[in-house]
Amino acid sequence: MKKIRIKQIKSGIDRPERQKRTLLALGLKKMHQTVEVEATPQIIGMVNKVKHLISVENI
């Protein structure tokens, strides 16, 4: 399956609770942290919800 690299570029402070929990579900706990995940439809949906806080790169 295809993988993507996700990096948090903006803070979750002063964001709705739902967006904070989405960042945690993606595995992002700190600023500038990077995770590699498989590009499942569920992950792509979460990425679209917080796309203004992260950067995404195909691997």
Is the pTM of the predicted complex or chain greater than 0.95?
no
Q: pLDDT, tens digit, for every residue of 7-49?
A: 999 999 999 999 999 999 999 999 999 999 999 999 999 999 9
Residue 9 confidence (pLDDT): 97
CATH 3.30.1390.20 fits 3-58, yes or no: yes
Q: How far apart are the first and last CA of the chain?
A: 11
Shortest CA distance to 36 belongs to which of 57, 10, 15? 57
Task: Note the pLDDT of residue 20.
Answer: 97
pLDDT of residue 1: 82
Domain boundaries, the chain: 3-58
